[in-house]
Amino acid sequence: MKNSRHRIRTAATLTALTLGTAGLTALGAPAAMAAGERVAKLPVSSYSAMAVDSARERVYISDDTRSRNAGQVLVYNFAGEKVGSLTTDTSPSGMALSTDGSTLYVSQSTGILSFDTLTQTRTGQAYANYYVDCPRDVAFAGGKQWYTEVAATSDCDTRSSRLYMAEGSGVVNTGWNDLGRLRLWSGPEAPGRLLMGQPRTAGVTDPFLTAFDATGSTLVRGPERRFADAAGKGALDLKDVAQSADGQRVAVADAAAGTRLLDAADLSDAPVAYQPLPEGATASAVSFSGDGKYIARGAAATGGTADLLVQPADPADRTAPLEFAFDGALEGNRVAPRGLGWSRDGARLFAVTTNGSGNEYWLHIIQPPAAQHDSRFTGTLSTTPGQAVVGEPLGIRGRLELDGPAPAEPVKVSAVRHDANGDRRLAAVEVDADGSFTVLDVPALVGDATYTVSYTGDLTHRPAQDVTLAVAVAKAPTALALTAPAEGVKGEGLEITGRLTGQGRALPAGITLTVERADKKGTGVLTSAAVAADGTFRINDLPRATGQVTYTVGYAGDELHSGSTASATVRVRRAG
């Protein structure tokens, strides 16, 4: 059992509370975490189902080895510790809790087992029609056990499935059947409703989702829906289903379309949908919290793309989700299909993750924050130095203010620079104890640039509204320094030396400087002076007139550097 080492990418509102107006600047003494996560490595190489018993604080996990040998259901507590196991005659597959949570039903090849969740002992078994190797799914609805069966020992995902009701130690054929390994969902949200979905496999081009009324003596089918259009596009690729706490909505994890939200009455699209999953993420799991406040949406994604989003269950609430990006050998890198479950009070979220090969699994116990507080940028952004110069370090200064307790980890802000070359994300920086921060940049172009500074929030704070600052980036200044003799002689050689220097990026090679000479006979242009690699140059002249002679040297500048001039005056006398 280990603490998770991955990082949450974005914070979101998980409960709406009325907060005080007193502001807390970022980073005081660390406060106790309002949310946390623990991870347990599961001793299985396959996964089938998870059931959460909130009354006794137990999490049950079954694998999908499809073996005729004795198997077990793993039992964990809400702290992520393995506290036991339930022995099965053959490999377990599906699981379901009775409405009151007192009985756990586990499907295996010889039937459906029942266990007392208080004593963790087996209390019965309903025998199936066939002894098969294909996994069965099981659900509890209308006070009865329901299970699916593929009457085969191979090709489990393509054969015909049948739906049965367990009755005592026997079974009753409901007459409902179709191709593929049919999946079942039920729950305390609508105890008389049984949902059945058809996975998308070979031979099934337009899978269905349907609901049954299980309250009477006969199973009555309600609404059914297939999702492909007339051209055959948009077919369901079913991974998971969940019912909202009030039973009015059905959420579907569709690997082809993301998270679908449906009206439970007729399975039509709900008026408002959830925002799309992050680009590159494929839906794999979905679960509503028992208190009705949140929805968790699991996905398979790579790298830093979020695999888990936790957000308000109301799709009209567009607050940014709390996003988890799983990406590591110690935690998995995606949420397994049907791998999400909540405690009844919404205080804990359980997520099963897997690796890319699907042969290692982890149980994550996540405690969402009890409350999130506001954050804001105060005042206006400013730059240091005041004038931005291309190629020179520039600081974007501001101040962040947080309500509520101080975060346990350092607060960071990030920024994006937008200029003629597009957007460039700058390195995030930590916020000082007084809330001040300085984001560093080195502008690469002359002209207008806009800096957008963001705080994406943390486990206890909502994101702040972005702030922007328009900056005019100037050319880097240059300077010319001349060293000339105080006196010269008319008609005799005179040498002036100098150096050209510039800020920002290095001056280009091959620079030549203009040279003018002004005396009592007028002003004329002399031979230009070549600048060496170290910036030095020499000017040689034969003065043509006596008196004050002024030499003016000029650099025209380039795309990144401004021009500059310098002058030196020499008193010229007659020879002898």
Q: Does pLDDT of 549 surpass 70?
A: yes
Q: Do residues 169 and 264 share a domain?
A: yes
Find which of 120-129, 403-412, 555-564 is predicted with most confidence, using mean pLDDT: 555-564
Q: Does pLDDT of 544 surpass 60?
A: yes
Q: Flag whether 7 is in a domain.
A: no
CB 404, CB 411: distance < 8 Å: no
Overall average pLDDT of the 298-303 stretch: 92
Q: What is the domain-level CATH number for residue 293?
A: 2.130.10.10
Strand partners, 76: 59, 82
Q: Do residues 152 and 270 share a domain?
A: yes
Under the banding of pLDDT at 50, 70 and 90, the label for residue 69 is: confident
Q: Do residues 429 and 466 share a domain?
A: yes
Overall average pLDDT of the 250-273 stretch: 96
Q: Do residues 225 and 127 share a domain?
A: yes
Q: Does pLDDT of 283 surpass 60?
A: yes
DSSP 8-class letter at 476 = B
Q: Do residues 188 and 107 share a domain?
A: yes
Q: Does pLDDT of 364 surpass 90?
A: yes
pLDDT digits (tens, 9 = 90+) for 96-109: 999 889 999 999 88
Q: Do residues 82 and 203 share a domain?
A: yes
Q: Flag whether 239 is in a domain.
A: yes
Q: Quick one: pLDDT at residue 300?
A: 95
Overall average pLDDT of the 87-99 stretch: 92
Overall average pLDDT of the 32-54 stretch: 81
Average pLDDT, the chain: 88
Question: What is the C-alpha separation between 138 and 129, in angstroms, rounded?
Answer: 15
Under the banding of pLDDT at 50, 70 and 90, the label for residue 517 is: very high
Q: Does pLDDT of 416 surpass 90?
A: yes
Q: Quick one: pLDDT at residue 30?
A: 26
Question: What is the C-alpha separation between 342 and 362, in angstroms, rounded?
Answer: 16
Under the banding of pLDDT at 50, 70 and 90, the label for residue 340 is: very high
pLDDT digits (tens, 9 = 90+) for 167-187: 888 889 999 999 888 999 998
Question: What is the C-alpha separation between 77 and 58, in angstroms, rounded?
Answer: 5
Q: Flag whether 271 is in a domain.
A: yes
CB 219, CB 147: distance < 8 Å: no
Q: Do residues 458 and 511 share a domain?
A: no
Question: What is the C-alpha separation between 262 and 241, in angstroms, rounded?
Answer: 11
Overall average pLDDT of the 272-278 stretch: 95
Last residue of a domain, one of 257, 286, 320: 320
> What's the structural domain count of the chain?
3
CB 263, CB 272: distance < 8 Å: no
Under the banding of pLDDT at 50, 70 and 90, the label for residue 13 is: very low
CB 237, CB 197: distance < 8 Å: no
Q: Flag whether 492 is in a domain.
A: yes
pLDDT higher at 292 or 27: 292
pLDDT digits (tens, 9 = 90+) for 150-166: 877 778 888 889 999 98
Q: Quick one: pLDDT at residue 262?
A: 97
Q: Does pLDDT of 35 surpass 80?
A: no
pLDDT digits (tens, 9 = 90+) for 420-436: 999 999 999 999 999 99
Q: What is the domain-level CATH number for residue 492?
A: 2.60.40.730
Q: Do residues 413 and 310 share a domain?
A: no
Among 366, 456, 330, smallest CA distance to 13 is for: 456
Q: Does pLDDT of 1 surpass 60?
A: no
Q: Do residues 423 and 282 share a domain?
A: no
Token pair of 468, please? 């922007």
Q: Quick one: pLDDT at residue 7?
A: 40
Q: Do residues 187 and 255 share a domain?
A: yes
CA distances from 315 to 245, 320, 396, 570 (A): 14, 11, 36, 81
Q: Does pLDDT of 17 surpass 50?
A: no
Under the banding of pLDDT at 50, 70 and 90, the label for residue 371 is: low
Q: Flag whether 40 is in a domain.
A: no
**Residue 549 structural domain:** 478-573
CB 39, CB 364: distance < 8 Å: yes
Q: Does pLDDT of 27 surpass 90?
A: no
Q: Does pLDDT of 445 surpass 70?
A: yes
Q: Does pLDDT of 67 surpass 70?
A: yes
Overall average pLDDT of the 99-120 stretch: 92
Q: Do residues 470 and 483 share a domain?
A: no
Q: Quick one: pLDDT at residue 324?
A: 87
Q: Flag whether 25 is in a domain.
A: no
Among 245, 126, 236, 125, smallest CA distance to 183 is for: 236
Q: Flag whether 359 is in a domain.
A: no
CB 153, CB 143: distance < 8 Å: no
Q: Do residues 468 and 559 share a domain?
A: no
Instruction: Detail the DSSP E strand segments found in 151-291.
Output: 160-167, 170-179, 183-185, 193-197, 208-213, 220-226, 238-243, 249-254, 258-263, 282-288
Q: Quick one: pLDDT at residue 11?
A: 32
Q: Quick one: pLDDT at residue 19?
A: 23
Q: Does pLDDT of 6 surpass 90?
A: no
For the entire predicted model, the pTM comes to 0.65
Among 138, 217, 221, smallest CA distance to 183 is for: 138
Overall average pLDDT of the 113-119 stretch: 95
Q: Quick one: pLDDT at residue 5?
A: 32
- Residue 452 burial (10 A CB sphere; 0-12, 13-18, 19+): middle
Last residue of a domain, one of 474, 501, 532: 474
Q: Does pLDDT of 71 surpass 80?
A: yes
Last residue of a domain, one of 305, 320, 335: 320
Q: Flag whether 368 is in a domain.
A: no
What is the sign, positive or negative, of the torsion defined by CA atoms of 45, 46, 47, 48? negative
Q: Quick one: pLDDT at residue 406?
A: 80
Q: Does pLDDT of 201 surpass 90?
A: no
Q: Quick one: pLDDT at residue 22?
A: 30
Q: What is the domain-level CATH number for residue 454?
A: 2.60.40.10
